[in-house]
Structure 1
């Protein structure tokens, strides 16, 4: 009995010491003494008297455009944050496999203060009570700019990181209107006496003209290029009112899976017939990415589906081979009501920023995100002036996407940023006032002006900037666009175990049908197997 009392006394002393020391062992970083957060610390841009440091786990750094002497922890972007709010990031570790590294860290308890995690790891961290509630931090410390960005998504973004109404992380964003567009060689259209298509029949008719008249002049003209994934042809599926790989809602509000609906069979039948007809590259399932690009670059292909950002791919090199190549974007094919349909991709893109529970200054993480976003997108006069004053320290690539060398490498932007961006360029062009262009869009504006002056007689990178930011962004916001929200984002328990096999079955079946290696009725067998081997369980979990 005496031993038990002695143990209890020791235990109470230990607990008292832990309480007196702040319990969590965090302060200006992972190892400092705990500090009290005062109301001023919550101000979005208030500066700490003493440096507040945090550790972060990162993907292996691939950045190679830092000025001499700079590092991933010490460069113009990080120095801006430090100079304004006295917050510093230290890299705890880098990894090529974030999920594996964090899973191991959870078992050892050796978590960094800040992590950029997948939805799967996010849920595990919550289940194990390892991350901080960031509700107050967001409400009090997020800048107006950050809040406006998040609010542009309505409830579809922050609701995904809430647990019992509490904000448990800051999501990276997947901007809207990144759907597939139809890219067409307009010079070929003129050559064969055709017109830019609108309906699906017009799309196929134009493809026939390209092939029959050998628009490439090579004797090997290909109407359509596609990759090994049949979902590359999502606009064709949508014209049939089919939405493969998407969780959609039926008339009763229940979530169903697009790939197993009757409309899919009709769409697959159509694609199978066009493949047999020779409108789709016969070797598409076997070609490497480089071989597929070569068909476009070397002038053998006249159409392909790709989002607005095609100019940032190697496809832009087609003007090297043929200076007369003229690529335009079209929102086609439309459905019988003249609508170009698409499903909204998951607005959470790239990951979720979380903070380890017990870290003394979670508001410092929000400040870092505030300042970094201001810096990347030139959102404040202070950020613009800072970059001008340190112009010799800028990264060699000043792209607004270049977020790797920042304290927390997350990308966030407005849901409708493509519309904002395009309209900004057009308004400045029409007014002749370059000063009206947002600072981080100047490169695009200059590319626009140079193309207007010289046409294709410009550098391929300038051409790529032009077709993405003018052609692509314009068409991504076409008035005929009809966007439907997905019925579900995420991963159920059954999906964790069975989704990989179901996806493989789906992809293999669809490819075989399109290429004529399986009859279209194979779709019915696929649907039955999908439901029996996990699909019904998944649907039950989603709709519970």
Structure 2
């Protein structure tokens, strides 16, 4: 509680200082409960710009594309909406984005616009994030592009906005390596866990890349990415599994989980799973894929898969185009159930910001046809050209560009598109995600259980990592389950059984 109170005091002091130092011509300073319609005479339309601080993973001052994007966005807002806005990109140190963001906020620097990739709920619980519901209701464009799963998530958690297609992580491999191993045919026709194992084993033994790959599979930091391939096959298709007696148990303490961890241990002990997956970050994971140190990785369905495809062909030739692999098949098949309780990542507006209405106007503009052209297509004559009244995307667009903000299923552009937004791998991955879509039965953990829940998850990470690497024998799984229930699992499980419908 002391830590919470300290953060709240810091935030309130920061807001007070910002309010005192903001320009007098900023009108009401964004203190209205909801935004006015875009395009009217609002704060930011004066000669002096309103500065919006934004912290966003990978979008810092060291990234020249990011810098140019926000400069172009400033110009577009001025020309199209009469908003005089200056973006200030807040840089974070290397390492875990969620941890470094938390340190930034604890230090009293609370940007106007914040991208979260975890760690947001504790900030929202302290009243430091703005409820976006009234802004969306009065928006000009966002209310028309928001997707059904976004609406469901916003109803229970209205602080993060992330208008993107449903996009689980999907496994990919180079086409030339896929075609080089005999077991690939069986895998594609019937992707059982056993066929995946045979496929991984042949990749390592046959080495289609010459001396490479060293490993069949790698991941960034933990097994969460690998779970997208295998969880459902082991019957781990929801967070809470319904037992024969009709009650629910947490999936990670189930016998299904034990069987999955035994399979992961088999991959690890036989050298099929990269032993450095625990310490890898997203960039070193991708680097291992491009260099042929690992044959298979997972990436977010859609544009990210296209970026993998473009980069792989750039480094290794057109024959190295990326192919999306199916999820493993067993008790069921899929990339895992979709959590509809809240966005797992997204953009928030600080409740302490003196420019909340201006910040949301930026969000709303990026949902407009002109805003979408900038966000989705990149820079004219660099990522696309206009020929005969149509937009033609080029190779640099497919290999480099991604939307920083919104990606509704249908893009409304003032100029028609001649070429599709996604390449074949990106389209294939989104189709697979849609084909296997199911909803999860998870729920937002009540505040009284949050501290215990964090401890329980840390306990799982410790034990599961040790089981996979062989530091602990799986005969100790029951001891882990007992420790999990003792750490708070009994109360949370009781809550789950009382509230899951």
Name the TM-score, length of structure 1 as normaliser.
Answer: 0.64
Deviation track 1:239-264 (CA, whole Å, cap 9, x = no partner) reads 10126xx7446479987533222210
What is aligned with 1:121?
123
- d(CA) in 1 for partners of 2:313 and 2:435? 29
CA contact (8 A) 1:241 1:263 kept: yes
Cα offset, 1:329, TM superposition? 0.7
Show CA shifts across 1:58-86 (max 9, x none). 3387245669xx9898x331232233433
Gaps of 5+ in 1: 1-24, 163-168, 404-410, 425-434, 446-467
Aligned pairs, how many?
A: 435
Q: TM-score, normalised by structure 2?
A: 0.68
Gaps of 5+ in 2: 1-18, 93-99, 386-395
Matched, 1:353 2:349: yes
Aligned to 2:459: 505
- Equivalences for 1:115-514 in 2 at 5 Å? 118-125=120-127, 136-140=134-138, 142-143=139-140, 145-153=141-149, 155-162=151-158, 169=159, 171-173=160-162, 175-194=164-183, 195=185, 196-197=187-188, 198-218=191-211, 222-234=215-227, 235-242=229-236, 247-248=239-240, 250=242, 257-282=250-275, 284-285=277-278, 293=286, 295-308=288-301, 309-312=304-307, 316-317=311-312, 320-321=315-316, 324-336=319-331, 339-345=333-339, 346-347=342-343, 349-356=345-352, 363-374=357-368, 375-378=370-373, 401=402, 403=404, 411-414=405-408, 417=409, 436-437=416-417, 469-478=423-432, 480-489=435-444, 492-496=447-451, 499=454, 501-514=455-468
For residue 390 of structure 2, what is the aligned residue in structure 1? none
Looking at structure 1, the residues matched to 40 and 27 of structure 2 have their Cα atoms a distance apart, in angstroms, of 21
Distance 1:172 1:223 in 2: 36
Give the deviation of 1:159 after TM superposition.
Answer: 1.0
CA distance in 2 between partners of 1:215 and 1:112 (Å): 48
Deviation at 1:487, TM superposition (A): 1.3
Change (3 A) 1:120 1:231: same
Counterpart in the other structure of 2:16: none
Distance in 1 of aligned mates of 2:44 and 2:172: 54
> CA RMSD, aligned part only?
4.7
User: Which of 1 and 2 has greater Rg?
Assistant: 1
The alpha-carbon distance between structure 1 residues 482 and 288, as it changes in their structure 2 partners (threshold 3 A), is closer
Q: Distance in 2 between matches of 1:323 and 1:265?
A: 41
Which of 55, 58, 63 matches 1:59?
55
**Distance of 1:491 and 1:476 partners within structure 2:** 33
Structure 1 CA distance for aligned equivalents of residues 114 and 335 of structure 2: 36
Alignment of 1:60-79 (within 5 A): 62-63=60-61, 75-79=71-75
Contact 1:42 1:363 (C-alpha < 8 Å) held by counterparts:
yes
Identify the residue that residue 456 of structure 1 maps to in structure 2: none
